[in-house]
Structure formats: structure tokens, C-alpha cells
Structure 1
Amino acid sequence: MKTLILPLVAALLAGVAGASEAWSTNPAEAMQQAAARKKGVMLEFTGSDWCGACIMQKKQALSLPKVQEDIARSFIPVELDYPRKKQQDEQTKASLETYKKSYGITGFPTLVFADAQGRPVHTVVGYSNPDQVMQDTEKAAEALKTQQALTAKLAGQLTEQERRDALVQLLNTVPQSSICTFYKPALEELAKLDPQDASGIRAKLNRKELLNTQREELADTFRQKNVHILAEQKPDEALSIMDGYLKKDGLLPEVKQAVLMQEVNLLMQQNRVNELERPLKEAIALLPDSFEGKMCSRLLEKLPEIKKERGQLKPGEEPPLPPGAIRATKMIVPPAPAKK
């Protein structure tokens, strides 16, 4: 079967300059090489002259010979750089922005491990140390191997049940966030073979879309009501807005947990430690195994210690720092723009 580069990816394949000599500077060339060698590509989305985590990851992990050798076994690395100081021509900038949008990049650094057609098989967001990079590379290599085998299988003669099973396995192998964009043909074929969604894949995708929508609505509502400013100036009003939002019908537990976490943060800032137990317990009950749920569990365990440390402090007052420690700079959130 002839290997084709997806139309979406083909539109992005202008060479992007700026990578170090050890990395490919041409995505199209890298994908062609990957196809010839039956490998994949690893796309590194980075900000080489401003993103501290990107700079550290490149220096401490991605530039190490042992890490590069590990990556090179299954992938050809490509750097996609989004600098703030270094000059880039307009064509390069446009190409980079299209890549960023197509792969849904929301933070730097991000590593996207993909097949030779540019379809993701594994994605990592945020800084990783050398061991973590090699672990993720191993996971990605296994996912690529499975994806390639299933793609080859689907190119052959199969019964409807065999095709359905192979499609389900394929879509369960790759990142959920990439399915609607990069695996749309497979998803559409599965919809015909599994109209009742017995696999549950479409239900998962629909829930993911709903979750993203609700998160955006939450951020927009709090921004419009200037909740972050109210938290400092009128904390009771901010808490009232949060409590009111929790009463909205149909909120997913992840969104409720996010609101409760904001309540916890506000109460901590105001040193209202005697009010922490309720939102902490409610957040834990929603999703105990999530990152937020585990964080709340740790805070609940330390609540007696927190009360002892902060119970006598005034609103906004911070406990004394240990000798030699430096207090973190507070992030300033700008107010929402006035409605026109």
C-alpha cells in the first residue's frame, strides 16, 4: 500500500528553520525519511529564547546523546520553534501557526510523537527530565508499532467484525485529542460499523468536547465577572459567585472540582482556614484520583497543621518564611475588557 501524507499535514510541510544541527529542520523531509525507514517523527514545539522549561528540557534531556539515540531508534526529531526575539520570515511564522493550531498546542514545551503521515500516537505536555523523555519515547514507540500494524491490517481484506475490532483498537491506541482531526476516516468508518457505539469511543469524544466547552465557559464567566480581582477586594462576593456556579445543571465533576479548588485557594489566601474542610471534602468526593483530588486529600490531611500556621493571621497575610527563602511573585490577572 502506497504511503500518503494526509492533506492536512501536507499543507503544513514548508521547511521550518531554527533547529540545532542534530535535529531536522524540514518536516516534509523528516516525514519522507520516516516513511522510507518505517519510523515516525517526533515534533518538538518549543520557545527557544523565552520558554524556561523548553530551554531546560533541550539542555538537560533532548541534547543528551543517550536520549537522542533512544529517540532515533523509532523517530526522526523535528524542532518547531516559536521564538520571541529571533526573527522569522512571514512564511515560516504562518507555517508554525498552522502546525500549532492543527496539533492543538496549548503549552510549551510539547512533544508530539507521530507516524510518517503526521498522525499522533503519543503526546507529552510540559518539561520532562531525561528518564521521563526516554520512558515516553518507549511508550510512543510501542504505540507507533501497534498503530502501524493495525493500519496495515485495515489495508487488507477483513470481515466487518474484524474491521470494527481493528478500528476500535486503533482509536484506543492513539491520543483521544487527535482522533477527530487526524483519524477522522477511521472514526467515520467505525460509526457505520458500530452505529450503537458499543465501543464507547464516540461517547468518550463527546464527553471530552463537552468538558472543553464547560471549561471555556467557566473561564469566560469568571473573567467577565472579574472573580480574581474580587477575591482580593471582595472575597465574600467572589465566593458567592463560585457557589452559584456550582449549582449550574449538568456540570461535569472536573469542572465542579476546578471551581472548588478556586474556593480553596481563595480561603487560603484570606486565611479563613476554618472554612476549608467543606470544599476540600466535596472536591475529593467528586474525583478522588484526579490530580486535584489528590492535592485536596493532602491538604485535608495537613489541615490541623494549616490551621495552626494560619489561624491567627489576618486576611491576605502570609506566614513567615524559613530563613533564606524568597517569596514567590504574585501573578497579576488583568481585569476583563469593558463590554462594547
Structure 2
Amino acid sequence: MKLLIILLATGLSLSFTNWQPDFETAKKLAGEEHKYILLNFSGSDWCAPCIRLHKEVFESDEFKTLADQALVLYRADFPRSKKNRLPKELQLSNEALADKYNPLGKFPYTVVMTADGQVIRSWDGYSNNSAQFIEQIKTVCHAGRK
């Protein structure tokens, strides 16, 4: 019984921030919910700054709260390890997104955009300052609501 109570209490405190499975779903949700899209280009199994960005920023409670309120999330991942290879269709979709939004192939590269694809702000890399990065994203989200 104690375990059940602990699991319920932990589950209630968790944020339900979800990274969308594909970009089309992210665009649709952003339009329906009147939110921005946060598109993150990542090398999840080889790019150390990408891994730190996800751990220090995207997994933080502060970011999850912000995302739940103002963002739809999509990660265009480019893993190198064979075991982490994406399905071909998703890989092609991510490559098309990179051609359009990240033509120089920077990692990590993060974009906040409208549901129709208009870029509001982008970040090249990760400065290792999670509080500053989250604050910059908040500023973008709040500026669009005025």
C-alpha cells in the first residue's frame, strides 16, 4: 500500500510534457492549442552538448511547466549508432526539417516557431546555463502573447 501511495504521489507531481512523434503532429497541435513549436535538432547518442541540453533544460521541472503552457515539442534527432537508427520515414522527415531550418547542420540547434513555420527565435548550441536558456524561451513565449 505504501508503494502505491508513493507511486501516485510521484506520478501526480510529474509533468506530462510530451515530445511529439512527428513534426506534422506537432504543427497540428500547435495550431489547435495556440502554442509555439520548439524544434530541437539533436544528436542524441553522440553530441555531448545535445545530451546536456536535454538533461539540464528539457528535463527540468521549470522547462516542463513552460512547455505545458506555451509549447509543442519536437526533436529532430540524428543518432549515429546503428542501434538508435530511426525509421527511414522519420529520418527523411528530419532531414527535410534540417534542410529548411538548420541548413548548416549545427548541433544542438533549437528553434521556436509558429504553427505555420515562421521562425521566432533560434539558438545555436548550448551555453551550459540552463536558467538563462529557459528564461530566453520564456521571453519569446510571453512576447507572443501580448
Q: Under a length normalisation based on structure 2, what TM-score does the superposition of the two structures give?
A: 0.78
| Equivalent residue, structure 1, for 2:42 | 46
Kindly indicate whether residue 119 of structure 2 is the aligned counterpart of residue 120 of structure 1: yes
CA distance in 1, matches of 2:23, 2:52: 23
Render the CA deviation track for 1:156-180: whole Å, top value 9, x for unaligned: xxxxxxxxxxxxxxxxxxxxxxxxx
Q: Which has the higher helix share?
A: 1
Quick check: 1:110–1:123 contact (8 Å CA) kept in 2?
Answer: yes
Matches within 5 A, 1:146-185: none
| Equivalent residue, structure 2, for 1:103 | 101
CA distance in 1, matches of 2:111, 2:71: 11
Find 1:87's aligned residue among 68, 85, 88: 85
User: 1:84 is matched by which residue type in structure 2?
Assistant: R
Larger Rg: 1
Matches within 5 A, 1:195-214: none
Q: CA deviation at 1:142?
A: 3.8
Q: CA deviation at 1:79?
A: 1.1
Quick check: 2:22–2:90 contact (8 Å CA) kept in 1?
Answer: no
CA distance in 2, matches of 1:143, 1:118: 17
SS where residue 42 of structure 1 aligns? strand
CA distance in 1, matches of 2:29, 2:116: 11
Kindly indicate whether residue 137 of structure 2 is the aligned counterpart of residue 141 of structure 1: no
| Equivalent residue, structure 1, for 2:68 | 72
| Equivalent residue, structure 2, for 1:36 | 32
Render the CA deviation track for 1:22-78: whole Å, top value 9, x for unaligned: 311122112111111111110011000000000011111111121111233211111
User: 2:122 is matched by which residue type in structure 1?
Assistant: T
Q: Which runs of 4+ in 1 moved over 4 A?
A: none
Render the CA deviation track for 1:89-108: whole Å, top value 9, x for unaligned: 33222211111010134311
Kindly indicate whether residue 57 of structure 2 is the aligned counterpart of residue 61 of structure 1: yes
SS where residue 135 of structure 1 aligns? helix
Kindly indicate whether residue 128 of structure 2 is the aligned counterpart of residue 132 of structure 1: no
SS where residue 79 of structure 1 aligns? strand
| Equivalent residue, structure 1, for 2:11 | none
Render the CA deviation track for 1:239-273: whole Å, top value 9, x for unaligned: xxxxxxxxxxxxxxxxxxxxxxxxxxxxxxxxxxx
Q: Could you say which structure has the greater relative contact order, defined with CA pairs below 8 angstroms and 6 or more residues apart? A: 2
CA RMSD of aligned residues (A): 1.8
Find 2:19's aligned residue among 20, 23, 35: 23
User: 1:87 is matched by which residue type in structure 2?
Assistant: R
- Cα distance change, pair 143–122 in 1 and its aligned pair in 2 (3 A): farther
CA distance in 1, matches of 2:33, 2:141: 14
SS where residue 123 of structure 1 aligns? strand
Q: CA deviation at 1:139?
A: 2.6
The size of the alignment, in residue pairs, is: 126
SS where residue 57 of structure 2 aligns? helix
Quick check: 1:40–1:114 contact (8 Å CA) kept in 2?
Answer: yes
- Cα distance change, pair 89–49 in 1 and its aligned pair in 2 (3 A): same
Q: Which has the higher strand share?
A: 2
Identity of aligned residues (%): 25
CA distance in 2, matches of 1:89, 1:38: 30
CA distance in 1, matches of 2:63, 2:31: 22
User: 2:137 is matched by which residue type in structure 1?
Assistant: T
